Structures are given as structure tokens and as C-alpha cells.
Structure 1
Amino acid sequence: MKLKSIYLTVLFLSLFILNVNAQKGWINLFNGKDLKDWNIKIAKHDYKENYANTFRVENGVMKVSYDGYKEFDQQYGHIFYKKPFSAYLLKVTYRFIGEQAKGGEGWATRNSGAMLHCQDPATMLKNQDFPISIEGQILGGDGEHERHTSNVCTPGTLINYNGKLFTPHCLDSKSKTYAGDQWVTAEFLVLGDSVIKHIIEGEVVLEYTKPQIGGGNVSNFDPKVKIDGKPLTSGYISLQSESHPIEFKTVQLYDLEAYMKDKAKLDKVLAKILKE
């Protein structure tokens, strides 16, 4: 009986250690099968209503589609991962496909985004267009003109750029243009309210600091949520539906919060995972 008890204890500890180690690795936010870990908020619709099956899983990818829309009608949508994060590396592999939905804005052609440090989607009002957040803007080229991807836009937020408060809505990265339906991998290094870096093909294409609530470019929000000047230390992650069909093949995250108080360990972990 005693040996059995020892065996069970060792087994439990082994499983616990394996689980802890697994949590330190990459987390697949999107499991390639379903959307059970995600919550949807589409403008003009109730929280968790997946209007016209906008967000779906087909052939192992998360697909944003508008085949059920008669008109886009500014029904901007976001699909949120179920829990917030503070410090992390987010990796998103995406591609634009097909034609823009009827009634979509001109600027929204081949346009989507990975929204960082989002407000809790449960606090968004029915007609709110975008979550208060920092947007890692994803853009596709048209085959003729230069159009950078992995830019930053600021719905209801502000950032510091080159040591100064940046108040315009969007800031371009220095990435190259990606046209056609090729898969592109964008990474976003988010370290609380200190620094955010946008990375494409291993190169930092944009870097800024001190994200905070403030500014405009968000409509129909609850004033109690928009506390201007409040640092954005954490938040939810969401992906956009802005009227152009897009597919997400992978959405992965490496949680870095445990390393935030030890710069040497953080740098070591980052050096390793940025090569993966």
C-alpha cells in the first residue's frame, strides 16, 4: 500500500512538472479545429453573436468571411481569445483572399489587424465599432503600390514614439509590401506598458512605448471604460473582421510574464523563441 502511495505521488509530480513546462512553451490560441476558446463581438450585434457565421473554421484555418452579408454596413467585428495577457510574444500567420465585401470602406481593402491590450469584450457596447486597444494593423498589397504591413493604429489609445507622445491614429512600419494570397507571419512582442515591437521575417519593423488609454478613433463606447491616461499594462487579444476576407493559419503565444522581473532571463528566452 505504501509503495502504491509513493508511486502515485511520483506520478502526480511528474505530470505536474510536465504541465508547468508545457505552459512555458508556445500556446496555440487557435487549435485548428474550432472557436471554443474565443468570443465574438461584431458592431450592431450582441456580444457572442457570430453574425452571418463571420468567423468560422474550415480546413484547419480560422476564416473571416462575408458570404452571409448583403452589405457590410460598418459591422466591424473582432474575435477575442478567452483570457487576457500582459507580457508575451504573439505570432500570427495570415493571408488575404477573395474580394472585399460589398459596402466596405476603401481603406479596409485587404485590411485586418491583431488587436493588443484590448478592453474586456464583455464591456463593449452593442454599437461600438472597435475595442479600445492597440492595433497591429495587417495590410495586403494590391500588386502595384507600396503598402506596409504590421503598422500600428490606436482606437481609443495613445503611444509614445521616439520618446514623444504620438497622437495621430496610425503609424507606418518599415516592412516590405506583401501582395497576393501568400502566407505572411507577423509577430508582436508586448511587454506590459513598457514597449511593443512589431516583427516581420525576424526584423523589427516598428517599435513604440508607453501604450495608454486616450485619444479618439473609437465610437459608441462606455465612458466608464475609457479612462484617459490609464497605462495599458494588460488586455485581451483579438483578430479583426473589417470587410475583406482573411484566413489565419496559426495564432500562437509565448507568455513572458514570469520573466518580466529578470531582464537577463527575459533576454535569454527572447533570443531563443525569436529564432523558432
Structure 2
Amino acid sequence: MFHPTRFNRIFFAATVALCSFSFVHAEETKTENSETGKWVSLFNGKNLEGWTPKIRYHELGDNFKDTFRVEDGLLKVRYDGYDKFNETFGHLFYKDSFSHYRFRVEYRFLGDQCSGGPGWAFRNSGIMIHGEKPETMSRDQDFPVSIEVQLLGGDGKNPRTNANLCTPGTNVVKDGKLFTPHCTSSTSDTFHGDDWVTVEIEVRGNEIIKHIIDGKTVLQYTKPQLDPKDAHAKELSEQQGGIQLSGGTISLQSESHPCDFRKVEIMVLEQ
């Protein structure tokens, strides 16, 4: 039998629930699209507090030959203690992981490349984002599974775009399609010489990643994810229960060419 009073109560409850859902959804959307927060330095200008090196062929925490050091208020990557580079790729990991944020560095290349460094690593470094934890890397592993934003300098003559994308153990979606090339050029200018260059990254979890130079987006893509064809990445996907990446570690590279960082900053964005 139809009960008008009972029906009214049910209808009222359903209406309240629907309105509540709409309100929460609107708040989530508003929060997700708002760029709140402030820039915070991850580098104190005095030492490597908060950062841990992982250099190939060496244990986690072993800063082989003082590769990463702080001098004159600068975070420096140096190879004066090396006889030859011997593919001893290194990464300096920040202690925390991040998901939604803006990240920027001011860097410069200078001096000569370390003897034995590969040709492609001339004036080449990088920022690794959405990376695995350094504890999950093997002793002989060259690069963490991650998304790399390349930091590149020109040779004084030839064009070479900056803030390119490389994908060790990962893939992304670009223009609506799964994108699997290992490295992809941006649309940036070439930066010759030893001048300071600012590169910024906007990261919004699994939604979108933008590479930015001088306020201009030079590359963007979506849905960063583990590559199931990579054995180590497949292990990581099994551990996390899927291939999609919504966050991870941040690290700075040592790839055989001396470079300096004078600013390393992050602005955490609300999710």
C-alpha cells in the first residue's frame, strides 16, 4: 500500500544525499583545480640534509667519490675523484614522495664531461619524478623506474631542446594514445653556455604532467604508468596492484657532466 508520509521521508532523504554528493564532488573539483600553497626549498644551502644518494655499483647512501656535494651555497655534481665514469650513473633522492605539486630547479652546466661518459650525456642531467623508492633499486641498477624530465645544454652550435621526456621502465599517454618511445623532444629553445636555466614541472598525480620553461609549457602528457614489458617495473606493478602512477619519489641525476643547482623548490598542491 502506498504511504504518502513514508514516501515523503524517503524522497527527502534521497534529495539530501544527492545534494551532499554534489557538494562533495564540487569541493573536490574546486580543490583539485586550485593552485594553492607556497614555494618551499628542499635544499638548505648548507648540506645534503633530506637527500640520499644511490649511485650505480654502490650501496644506498654511499656518496661515491663525493659526487654530490654542497659548496658555496650550491648543490654540486662533480667527478674530480673519478678516473673514468664507467656508467656509474647516480641519483640523489629526496626523503619524501609527492603526488600533486609544482617543482622547479635553477641549474647550470659547466666544465668538461667526465672521462668515459657517454656522448649523449654531454651537458645532460635530469629530474626523476613519480620514481620508485631507492630501497627498491638493485645495487647495479642504472636508473630508477620513473619519469625523467631531462636537463640539457647545447654544444654552442647545434640545436638541442631542453626539458625533454625519458621513460625508464615507464610509459605515458600523449594525444590520447599510449606513448612508448623512450625519449621525446620538447618544443623548447636551445640553452647554450654556462648560464643559469630554470625548469619547472607541474604534476597532478595520474592526470597530467607539464614541462615548463620561462612560463611556457614545452611538453605535456597524461597517465604516467609502469611498463609491463620491463621486468623490474612489472615487479613494482605487482607490488602496488596496478601499473598507473599517481606519485612517487623525486631525484636529481649525475650522468657524467658537472652541474650546479642553486634552487630546488616545491609547491605542494591540494588534491
Same fold (TM over 0.5): yes
* Alpha-carbon distance in 2 for matches of 1:139, 1:226: 30
Matching of residue 64 in structure 1 with residue 107 in structure 2? no
1:24 Cα deviation (Å)? 3.4
Matching of residue 166 in structure 1 with residue 170 in structure 2? no
* Alpha-carbon distance in 2 for matches of 1:29, 1:225: 27
1:183 Cα deviation (Å)? 0.1
Q: Which runs of 5+ in 1 are unaligned?
A: 1-22, 261-276
From 121, 129, 133, the counterpart of 2:134: 121
Q: Which runs of 5+ in 2 are unaligned?
A: 1-35
Matching of residue 89 in structure 1 with residue 125 in structure 2? no
* Alpha-carbon distance in 2 for matches of 1:60, 1:115: 23
What SS does structure 1 have at the residue aligned with 2:203?
Answer: strand
* Alpha-carbon distance in 1 for matches of 2:115, 2:197: 25
1:27 corresponds to which residue?
A: 40
Question: Letter of the aligned partner of 1:200 in structure 2?
Answer: I
What SS does structure 1 have at the residue aligned with 2:120?
Answer: helix
Matching of residue 225 in structure 1 with residue 270 in structure 2? no
1:179 corresponds to which residue?
A: 192
Q: How many residues align?
A: 234
Tell me, yes or no, if the aligned pair for 1:132 and 1:226 is still in contact at 8 Å. Answer: no
Provide runs of 4+ in structure 1 moved above 2 Å: 221-229
2:205 corresponds to which residue?
A: 192
Matches within 5 A, 1:142-153: 142-153=155-166
Give CA-to-partner distance per residue, 1:75-109, whole Å, 9 cap, x none: 00000111000000001100001000010000000
| Identical counterparts, % of pairs | 51
Question: Letter of the aligned partner of 1:224 in structure 2?
Answer: E
1:101 corresponds to which residue?
A: 114
What SS does structure 2 have at the residue aligned with 1:84?
Answer: strand
2:52 corresponds to which residue?
A: 39
Tell me, yes or no, if the aligned pair for 1:156 and 1:226 is still in contact at 8 Å. Answer: no
What SS does structure 2 have at the residue aligned with 1:237?
Answer: strand
| Higher-Rg member (1/2) | 2
Deviates more, 1:221-230 or 1:118-127: 221-230
Tell me, yes or no, if the aligned pair for 1:98 and 1:245 is still in contact at 8 Å. Answer: yes
